[in-house]
C-alpha cells in the first residue's frame, strides 16, 4: 500500500477512534468497534496498530502533528516576537483542549491505560514544540526585544509554564470549561513572556 492510501486509512481509523471515545469511552471501546466505525476490517487495523492502546497513542500523535503545524503558522505571522510567543502559548493549550473536548469525559481512563507509553513519547513532543518556540525567541533576541540567553532553554521554560493547563493535567470539570482555561492560559502567557523582554 502506497503512502497516500496508508495515510487515508490511518486517518479513517483515528477519526473513528475519536468518535468512539466520545460515545463509549476508552474502556468500553474495542477493536471491533473501531473496525465497524471506520469501515475497515479488524484484521487490517491490526496490520497497522497492535491494539487500542496504540490507536489511542497515535491519536495523540496526530493531535501533536496538527498542533506543530498550527504553531508554525502562528510563529510565521506578523507581529513582535513577544506577541507571537503569547499567541503560540495560547494556541498550544487551546488547540489540545479543543482536540480532546468531545471525549474529555473518558480522558482520564485513557491516560491511565496508556500513561507509560505516552510518557515515553512526551519528550519527543516537547522537543518538537520547543524547537518552534526557540526560533521565535532567537528572532526576538536578534531584534533586541528579548533578553540574551539560550533560546532552547527559554523555550523549554515557556512550555513548562503552561503544561499544567494541558488536558492531561486538568480535571473533568476544567475540561468542560474552555473559557476558564483560555483566561488562565492568557494570563500565564502574558506573565511568562513579559519575563523575556529585554
Please tell me what DSSP assigns to residue 186: H
Is 114 part of any domain? yes
79-101 pLDDT per residue, tens: 999 999 999 999 999 999 888 88
102-158 pLDDT per residue, tens: 877 777 788 888 889 988 998 999 999 999 999 999 999 999 999 999 999 999 999
As given in the structure block, the three cell numbers for residue 80 are 513582535
Number of structural domains (the chain) is 1
The most confident of the ranges 22-26, 72-76, 168-172 is: 72-76
Q: Are 38 and 16 in contact (CB under 8 A)?
A: yes
Check residues 1 and 75 and name the one with the higher pLDDT.
Answer: 75
Q: Are 61 and 91 in contact (CB under 8 A)?
A: no
Domain boundaries, position 124: 53-194
Find the CATH number of the domain harbouring 79: 1.10.357
Amino acid at each position: 500500500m502506497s503512502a497516500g492510501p496508508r495515510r487515508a486509512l490511518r486517518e479513517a481509523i483515528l477519526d473513528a477512534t475519536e468518535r468512539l471515545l466520545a460515545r463509549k469511552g476508552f474502556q468500553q471501546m474495542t477493536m471491533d468497534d473501531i473496525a465497524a466505525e471506520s469501515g475497515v476490517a479488524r484484521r487490517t487495523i491490526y496490520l497497522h496498530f497492535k491494539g487500542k492502546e496504540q490507536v489511542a497513542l497515535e491519536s495523540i500523535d496526530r493531535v501533536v502533528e496538527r498542533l506543530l503545524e498550527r504553531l508554525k503558522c502562528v510563529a510565521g505571522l506578523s507581529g513582535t516576537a513577544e506577541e507571537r510567543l503569547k499567541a503560540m502559548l495560547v494556541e498550544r493549550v487551546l488547540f489540545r483542549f479543543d482536540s480532546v473536548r468531545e471525549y474529555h469525559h473518558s480522558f482520564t481512563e485513557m491516560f491511565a491505560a496508556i500513561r507509560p507509553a505516552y510518557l515515553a513519547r512526551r519528550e519527543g513532543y516537547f522537543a518538537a514544540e520547543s524547537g518552534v518556540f526557540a526560533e521565535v525567541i532567537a528572532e526576538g533576541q536578534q531584534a533586541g526585544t528579548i533578553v540574551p540567553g539560550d533560546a532552547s532553554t527559554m523555550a523549554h521554560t515557556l512550555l513548562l509554564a503552561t503544561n499544567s493547563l494541558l488536558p492531561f493535567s486538568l480535571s473533568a470539570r476544567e475540561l468542560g470549561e474552555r473559557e476558564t482555561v483560555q483566561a488562565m492560559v492568557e494570563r500565564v502567557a502574558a506573565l511568562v513572556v513579559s519575563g523575556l523582554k529585554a
